[in-house]
Each structure stands twice: as C-alpha cells, then as structure tokens.
C-alpha cells in the first residue's frame, strides 16, 4: 500500500461503475422499448373496423334476435353472434364445438360492455356502433364463464353469461336442421 491507496479498491470501483453503467443502459433500453410499443400500438388501427347502427340492431341486419347464437359456416367454421345490453348478453349461453375455429362477432346495444371468456384469450370491449371480432379455438369440452368486465351500470355485477364447449359430434347433433344454436332455454 502506497499513500493509503489499496489497489484492489480501485479494481472494485471500476467493476462497480461498469455494472452501474450496464444497469442504467438496461433500464433505458427497456423504457425505450415500452415507449415505442405504446406509441406504435396507439397509432396502429385495427385491420378492419366495422360499424353498425346501435339503435336498430334488433330490427334488421346481422344482429336480429333470430340471427344470434352459433352457426356453422360453409367451410366448417362456426360464427357466434352476440349482443351485450344492460344487465345481459344475448344469448346468455353460447354453445360451441371443441377443436373448431370459432369467430365471435359481438356488439353493444346501449353502453360499453366487456366481452371476456374466462380461461381463454378472448377479451374485448363491446362499443355501441362497432362490431368486435375475436377468433378462438377451444381444445376441449367444458364451460367458461363470460362476465361483463366493463362497468356498465348499477346492474353490472349481475351481467354474466357462459360459453359451453361440447364435442363436434354433440354440437352437430344438437344443430340438426336449425340455422342457429344456443344453450339458453
């Protein structure tokens, strides 16, 4: 030791500065990534935006009552049409087959509602005037709760539905000659 200076203390100081610099660079990089993703996602619109007149969805068009529920398309996929309206989903119970591509098409008749199928990645907002589209495939039969996760009014906590997944064979046998199917009584 000369002049009260320990050589190992100098080495430790340089190593600590390097680690501090690396840590700061990592934090700056992650903050930059978050900012880029936030700005990029906020400026990128959906591929398609479908609009609809929420005051007449029950009267004509795709979302009339007789057109709600599950329907088998010509290519074997299933399209589900649903409406969120204060205190309920129409239909309140959606029947779909397992191992089949499913397209959920939903809208709102009155205020913003949430469309969430628990245990899946289906989670979207139902906004009056817009059609929300979500695609999914259920791997196995089962039942999934479907609560409204956007506060819509004082009756919000009672706004629940369900998605019942059955085998393809069960679904097709229940479909029979009907155009639309739901598990609601």
> pLDDT tens per residue, the chain (185 residues)?
455 567 888 888 889 999 999 999 999 999 998 888 777 766 555 667 888 888 888 888 889 988 898 998 889 899 999 999 888 899 999 999 999 999 999 999 889 998 999 988 888 889 999 999 999 999 999 999 998 888 888 877 778 899 999 999 988 888 777 777 777 65
Place of tokens 């393809």: 168
Q: What are phi and psi of 155, to 5 degrees?
A: -95, 10
Q: Say if residues 183 and 164 touch (Cβ distance below 8 Å).
A: yes
What the block records as the tokens of 49 is 């935006």
Q: What are phi and psi of 2, to 5 degrees?
A: -120, 135
> What's the confidence (pLDDT) of residue 3?
55
> What's the confidence (pLDDT) of residue 41?
62
Residues 6+ away with beta carbon under 8 Å from 148: 84, 89, 113, 114, 115, 116, 156, 159, 160
Instruction: Summarize the chain as % helix, strand, coil (round to 5).
Output: 30, 30, 40
> What's the confidence (pLDDT) of residue 1?
46
DSSP-assigned letters across all residues of 119-180: TSS-EEEE-TTEEEEEEE--SS-EEEEEE--S--STTGGG-EEEEEEE-HHHHHHHHTT-S-
pTM for this structure?
A: 0.71
> What's the confidence (pLDDT) of residue 131?
92
């Amino acid at each position: 030791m000369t002049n009260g200076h320990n050589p190992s203390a100098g080495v430790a100081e340089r190593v600590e500065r390097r680690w501090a610099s690396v840590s700061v660079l990592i934090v700056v990089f992650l903050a930059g990534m978050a900012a880029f993703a936030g700005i990029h996602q906020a400026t990128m619109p959906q591929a398609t935006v479908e609009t609809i007149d929420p005051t007449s969805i029950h009267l004509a068009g795709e979302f009339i009552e007789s057109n709600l529920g599950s329907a088998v398309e010509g290519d074997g996929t299933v399209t589900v049409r649903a409406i969120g309206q204060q205190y309920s989903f129409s239909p309140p119970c959606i029947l779909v087959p397992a191992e089949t591509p499913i397209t959920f098409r939903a809208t709102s008749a009155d205020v913003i509602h949430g469309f969430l199928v628990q245990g899946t990645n289906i989670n979207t907002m139902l906004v009056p005037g817009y059609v929300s589209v979500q695609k999914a495939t259920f791997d196995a039969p089962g039942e999934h709760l479907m609560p409204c996760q956007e506060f819509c009014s004082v009756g919000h906590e009672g706004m629940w539905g369900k998605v019942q997944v059955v085998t393809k064979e069960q679904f097709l046998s229940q479909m029979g000659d009907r155009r639309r199917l739901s598990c609601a009584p």
